[in-house]
Amino acid sequence: MNILATARLYIGEMVTQAGPQMKVLLMDKETTGIVSCAFAQSEMMHKEVYLFERIDNAAPRENIKHLKCIVFVRPTAENIQLLCRELRSPKYAQYYIFFSNIANKSDIKLLAEADEEETVREVHEFFIDAVPLSKHLLSIGLHHPYDASLRLSTTAFLHAKQTIISLLLAFKKAPTVCYQKSNGDCEKLADEVTQVMRREEALFRTCKEDTLLLVIDRSEDCATPLLNQWTYEAMVHELLGLQNNRVTLDGQSLVLSELQDEFYEKNVNANFGEIGQSIKQLMEQFQSKAQIHKNVESIADMKSFVEEYPQFKKMSGTVSKHVSIVGELSRLVAANNLLEVSELEQSIVVDGDHTTCLDRVRNHLVNKQTTVLNATRLVLLYALRFEQHQNNDIDGVVALLRSKEPAAASLVRVLLRFGGASRRKNDLFGSQSAVEMTKRFIKGLKGVENVYTQHTPYLTQIIESIARGRFNENVYPKHTASQYSARVDNIIVFVIGGATYAELAQVRAANERRNQAGGPSVLLATTHMLNAQSFIDQLREMGGTTR
Amino acid sequence: MEDGPSVIQQGFLCPFCMTDLGSYIALANHVESAHPEDADTPAFEQIRGFIDKAKRSFKRFEPGIDIENLREKVGNIATSASAGNILQSESLQRSVEPLRKTRSKSREREVKPTKVKPIEIIHVRPEIGVKRSHTDYFLRCREASVNDIAVRTNTLIIRMDKLINEAPQEHSKRKDFERFVVPWSEDSESSACPGCNQKFSLTRRRHHCRLCGKVLCEKCSRFLSFLTARKLTNPALAAAMTEEKQNASTQKAEVRSLDKLADLAQRTGGHLRGLIGGSKSNDGSEVSISTLLRQDAAEHLRVCVPCLTLLERREQQMEARNPPAMVSLYERLVGLLSEMSKLTPSYSRMALSINNGEAIYTLQAAEELRRRIAERQREVDVLSKTIENEGGEGLPFREQQLRKNIRFVSVQTLHNFISNMPNLPSSEKYAELAEEHRNKVAKQVEEARLQAQRAVSNIKIPSVPIVETKPSSSFMGRVVEDGWTPDFSPITNPFAEEEDRQHPLQEQRGILRGYLSQAAAVGRLEEVEILERNLRDLEAEMRQLGLNFD
């Protein structure tokens, strides 16, 4: 299941259907994200799509009657209205309309009635309704999906449902639907997805049943988004912030795409030390190539140099980009004392020795070098981990934090209400199951390979348990109307309330394992991508406190 | 499978001819004697093979079934003959099912659906997902509503035609005539203007749309010039006028176009001529069309907004039929680019072969092709530059951006092509290379011969590694594949004596090379590949026969 490839196929098909001639692509906010992640702009231009427009752009667009227009929008009421207006006074010669999801018949009729000049040639539903950030990651890009009652807001719920439906149709899957029993949203989402599958029987007729869809809520694992990460992609998002695979550095927007950047593709999951190594290699390669440049003496030399030019330019582009990103990352690591903070985070969630942890958290809180964000995440992790410890001193650390973060108390309260022990029914820190305890014991004997990456997201356990057929059906029951499929060859996990790049790294690893040793293919879909900052902001929002 | 025989046969069936043999021994004998293709494998091995085949088709509808277990069980059945069943494929699974249930619990767990062997399906090409078309439904809905509009617009145009062409000259009669063509609605019917909802009063007087006859106020009135009206009622005139406008914009407009217009007016519109006659009766001059147009520009009809919208739409539709000059330039550009995307890889192939010193292509042919490509490259450059600069600064922003992007893509594509074009050696250098290559091949042939003497083995002619140069541009997609055949023009000397004639293989080689260079010159990559392969085979054959190549 490669959602990026599927998205590219869908968009390519749109262009093919519109045929030759100069074209313009008319999109909405969401589909712009989809197209920009699936194709580079120049790639689209090579397909004769020369202009890109937003349908919700208030400024009037000028008429260019010799253009064909590919419309790719979500079938929302707002878009239908805008599209009707567009068709009443068409700016382009022909329109090829593609909806990213199931459209209402009545809306199609509205459009038909608006198309008085008969400019529309095709109307289709192509099911790609959220942003394919990577081969195995689909994100709606919907920040702050919860309301104050810690439930999904109505719009967020609808959007999540539509995304799941389109995702299933994009992969032609009619899955077994499982959900996290302890969460009402998950159950409702599973329920409504199953209903749509039944209602749209015609669409799902060709779909395979070799897939398991699991709907879980972020509250299952609040630890992962609070941790510092050390793999390249996750680090970039944690420290610099990724937005649809773009990062802003020194006011410059850089694209980090596995599709177009070979170096990035290779190192996306590499940890910080390894990236430095790879960059060094890349620079050496680059310098040895650049050496040629210096030795250019004759015209023949210059010519052969120019022949190598596109590679050369491309290579120097990626080198400089990654050098500046990694440079900035290492500056931040040093400035924010991240190695120490991260080590403490890991010992809180993995070792869980209360006394030492408490001491060290206190030390960090009074240390001036500790940033507000890091102080907050340490306190939140401490509260989450030792919520049920008899001697915990949550009030004490919150009091210490208050000088840096006025909303400290509220944040801790919301966190525990949202993802505390009473709400989550799982064994997040592996303290209850004998198996997990033994695992940790053995790990302790063997010594730890890397103190900063001991923790693995809870999602990994879930995926492994499904793959091994040891899926806990009491915690994650299947929806009553859905059948267990004969074999589970694909797992789609939808995480309500945001996923992290650390989790994506695990999903990537699972898919790589599949290539070597077999096992199900995994796809992660979510409402949005989290880092510690956005997760804390989300908690703040749920608590109703503004900054 | 799905539509197999409805009657399930059981017993000792021969898997090949489906006859019931009664006992295992009889079956084994039968298989050995009647179906002896694999005579040295035991019969039940064959049956296993058959079951393997069957199981492969099972997987289509029951992928979770544990094949290993099945095979083992069926193997048991076959050898022990205790169960006494050789099963036809569709009955196989059903009969094995109860068997499986009797197995121990631990066994059962192994058959758990999640335990799969997915390696076989890993490298599936990503396929496009579900699509659903609403085009038919859309068109049906549209047809209904569009017809209505077309009828309404046509009514307006017919009325308009009457209003402008049959109107009496005297001003006083004009109003009555207009009321006669389009009945006006009564003043008493509406107390407020439907456009702005303001009440009519002494200062806000009632007016009438001349096309639909509805009441409206001064502020909501629009005025349709006779010029526009004439354009709508007389499409031929409209076309001529647009042409004139274009000519004027390219500053080539001369009296000629005006003449043409007048001429056209003469030929087409009976009404029009009547009008000309009416206005300039005594003059007799035919070039009065310009005066007429000027006069038209001053006159106009009072219309309401809805009517005007309908008419404007029609006008736009008429204008859309005349695409700007840039479109044809662009078409030409795309044609050139797609041609280049065929020729360039073909050239790369040639150049590679020549740089290796091979004699498949001639240096001249490669140079010729290079020249042709260069020609097209220049043309693309010029053309895309023209597209970019044609309109100048006066164009709207998006139009400019569009042109810039077209130029950008053209330059990028050119760049790609050029950087993918290897250089050709000079003719002296080529002679050296060819010599080198000949020696190398000779050495290889010699070695191969020695080897062949030692052991019977296939002579492998080292083939040149061919770098696949992928056409980077999607312009490839636009190429309509058409048939292609090389011209047959054998190079034979009619005066040659019989004994001077080439060996048939040599002749064949000459023909092949001719075809090959033709195919390469027009960029038929597929044919080039086939021909090259043939040529290599042929040369290998010739070498074996000890024939020289020229």
Greater model confidence, A218 or B84: A218
Which residues on B lie below 8 Å from A303 (Cβ)? 423
The verdict on A358 and A438 lying in the same domain is: yes
Token pair, residue B541, equals 């054959």
Q: Which of B115, B323, B405 is facing A66, going by the closest CB pair?
A: B323
Note whether A125 contacts B126, CB cutoff 8 Å.
no
**pLDDT of the residue at B12:** 65
Q: For chain B, first and last CA: distance in Å?
A: 60
Note whether A62 contacts B397, CB cutoff 8 Å.
yes
- Alpha carbons B126 and A13: distance in angstroms, whole number: 14
Helical segments of B113-254, H only: 135-165, 171-181, 226-233, 235-249
The string of pLDDT tens digits covering residues B235-270 is 666 666 656 555 554 444 444 545 555 555 544 443
With respect to residue A157, please indicate whether it lies within any of the assigned structural domains. Answer: yes
The verdict on A401 and A355 lying in the same domain is: yes
**pLDDT of the residue at B363:** 82
Q: Are A39 and B156 in contact (CB under 8 A)?
A: no
With respect to residue A229, please indicate whether it lies within any of the assigned structural domains. Answer: no
**pLDDT of the residue at B243:** 60
Which residue in chain B has the smallest CA separation from A66?
A: B323
The sign of the torsion formed by the CA atoms of A474, A480, A482, A486 equals positive
Q: Are A496 and A185 in contact (CB under 8 A)?
A: yes
Note down the domain range covering A298: 242-335
Strands A490-496 and A211-217: parallel
> Which parts of chain A register pLDDT below 50?
294-296, 298-300, 302-303, 305-306, 546-547
Last residue of a domain, one of A127, A147, A182: A127
With respect to residue A228, please indicate whether it lies within any of the assigned structural domains. Answer: no
The verdict on A59 and A21 lying in the same domain is: yes
**pLDDT of the residue at A501:** 95
Token pair, residue A269, equals 């999951």
The verdict on A447 and A435 lying in the same domain is: yes
The verdict on A117 and A143 lying in the same domain is: no
The string of pLDDT tens digits covering residues B415-445 is 888 877 888 888 888 888 888 888 888 888 7
Helical segments of B390-524, H only: 397-419, 427-454, 504-521
Which residues on A lie below 8 Å from B133 (Cβ)? 122-125
The sign of the torsion formed by the CA atoms of B83, B89, B95, B101 equals positive
Which residue in chain B has the smallest CA separation from A121?
A: B135
- Alpha carbons A296 and A312: distance in angstroms, whole number: 15
**A53 Cα to chain B: minimum distance (Å):** 10
Q: Are A336 and A330 in contact (CB under 8 A)?
A: no
Question: CA torsion angle for B192, B193, B198, B201 (degrees, to 10)?
Answer: -60
The DSSP output letter for B392 is G
CA atoms within 13 A on the CB side of B58: 22
Encoded amino acid at B79, one letter: T
The verdict on A159 and A272 lying in the same domain is: no
The string of pLDDT tens digits covering residues B473-501 is 455 444 444 555 666 554 445 555 555 55
Query: Cα B47 vs. chain centroid, distance in angstroms?
Result: 50
Q: Is A206 exposed, middle or buried (CB count within 10 Å of its CB: 0-12, 13-18, 19+)?
A: exposed
**B110 Cα to chain A: minimum distance (Å):** 10
The verdict on A39 and A122 lying in the same domain is: yes
With respect to residue A543, please indicate whether it lies within any of the assigned structural domains. Answer: no
How many separate domains does chain A show?
4
Last residue of a domain, one of A425, A453, A481: A453
Note whether A469 contacts B114, CB cutoff 8 Å.
yes
**pLDDT of the residue at B260:** 54
- Alpha carbons A12 and A8: distance in angstroms, whole number: 6
SS3 A121: strand
The verdict on A111 and A7 lying in the same domain is: yes
**pLDDT of the residue at A32:** 95
List of long-range contacts for B399-404, beta carbons under 8 Å, 24+ apart = B399/A62, B399/A64, B401/A50, B401/A51, B402/A22, B402/A24, B402/A50, B402/A51, B402/A64, B402/A67, B403/B326
- Alpha carbons A437 and A440: distance in angstroms, whole number: 5
Which residues on A lie below 8 Å from B140 (Cβ)? 112
The sign of the torsion formed by the CA atoms of B263, B264, B269, B270 equals positive
**A439 Cα to chain B: minimum distance (Å):** 24
- Alpha carbons A31 and B18: distance in angstroms, whole number: 59
CATH number of the domain to which A255 belongs: 3.90.830
Q: Is B352 exposed, middle or buried (CB count within 10 Å of its CB: 0-12, 13-18, 19+)?
A: middle
Note whether A65 contacts B133, CB cutoff 8 Å.
no
| Closest of A76, A129, A122 to residue A95, by C-alpha | A122
ipTM over 0.85: no
- Alpha carbons B503 and B82: distance in angstroms, whole number: 71
**pLDDT of the residue at B295:** 57
**pLDDT of the residue at A291:** 60
**pLDDT of the residue at B195:** 79
With respect to residue A139, please indicate whether it lies within any of the assigned structural domains. Answer: yes
CATH number of the domain to which A48 belongs: 3.40.50.2060
Q: 3-class secondary structure for B84-136?
A: CCCCCHHHHHHHHHHHHHHCCHHHHHHCCCCCCCHHHHCCCCCCCCCEEECHH
The DSSP output letter for B60 is T
pTM of the model: 0.72
Element (H, E) at A249: strand A246-249
Token pair, residue B10, equals 């059981």
- Alpha carbons B467 and B447: distance in angstroms, whole number: 27
Greater model confidence, B200 or B82: B200
**pLDDT of the residue at B355:** 83
**pLDDT of the residue at A380:** 94
The string of pLDDT tens digits covering residues A341-396 is 999 999 888 877 888 999 999 999 998 888 999 999 999 999 999 988 888 889 99
Note whether A169 contacts B129, CB cutoff 8 Å.
yes
CATH number of the domain to which A141 belongs: 3.40.50.1910
Q: Are B478 and B325 in contact (CB under 8 A)?
A: no
**pLDDT of the residue at B530:** 83
Token pair, residue B282, equals 């005594």
Element (H, E) at A328: helix A309-335
The verdict on A116 and A23 lying in the same domain is: yes
What are the residues whose beta carbons fall under 8 Å from the beta carbon of A368, sequence distance 6 or more?
none
The verdict on A307 and A402 lying in the same domain is: no
Q: Which of A125, A467, A514 is facing B114, going by the closest CB pair?
A: A467
The string of pLDDT tens digits covering residues B184-220 is 888 777 788 887 888 888 888 888 888 888 888 888 8
SS3 B470: coil
Note whether B141 contacts A108, CB cutoff 8 Å.
yes
Give Dmax (Cα) for chain B. Answer: 120
Q: Are A125 and B131 in contact (CB under 8 A)?
A: yes
- Alpha carbons A439 and A436: distance in angstroms, whole number: 5
The verdict on A292 and A376 lying in the same domain is: no
Element (H, E) at B215: strand B215-216
Helical segments of A76-153, H only: 77-88, 105-114
Which segments of B288-428 are extended strands (E)? Answer: 300-303
**C-alpha distances out from residue A328 to A234, A248, A322, A374, B133, Å:** 14, 11, 10, 18, 49
Encoded amino acid at B478, one letter: R
With respect to residue A227, please indicate whether it lies within any of the assigned structural domains. Answer: no
The DSSP output letter for A531 is -
Note whether A46 contacts B413, CB cutoff 8 Å.
yes
The verdict on A266 and A175 lying in the same domain is: no
pLDDT at residue B302 greater than cutoff 90:
no
**A70 Cα to chain B: minimum distance (Å):** 14
With respect to residue A364, please indicate whether it lies within any of the assigned structural domains. Answer: yes
Q: Are A457 and A502 in contact (CB under 8 A)?
A: yes
Which residues on A lie below 8 Å from B397 (Cβ)? 62
**pLDDT of the residue at B36:** 53
Phi-psi region of A118 (alpha: psi -120 to 50; beta: other; left: phi over 0): left
**A271 Cα to chain B: minimum distance (Å):** 27
SS3 A274: helix
Strands A242-243 and A176-179: unpaired
Element (H, E) at B369: helix B363-389
**pLDDT of the residue at B362:** 80
Last residue of a domain, one of A81, A100, A127: A127
With respect to residue A49, please indicate whether it lies within any of the assigned structural domains. Answer: yes
At B19, the pLDDT band (50, 70, 90 cuts) reads: low
**pLDDT of the residue at A77:** 94
**pLDDT of the residue at B197:** 82
**C-alpha distances out from residue A78 to A34, A91, A101, B292, B461, Å:** 19, 19, 14, 49, 67
Question: CA torsion angle for A172, B121, A519, B58 (degrees, to 10)?
Answer: 90
Q: Are B177 and B168 in contact (CB under 8 A)?
A: yes
Q: Are B373 and B420 in contact (CB under 8 A)?
A: no
Q: For chain A, first and last CA: distance in Å?
A: 41
The sign of the torsion formed by the CA atoms of B340, B345, B350, B355 equals positive
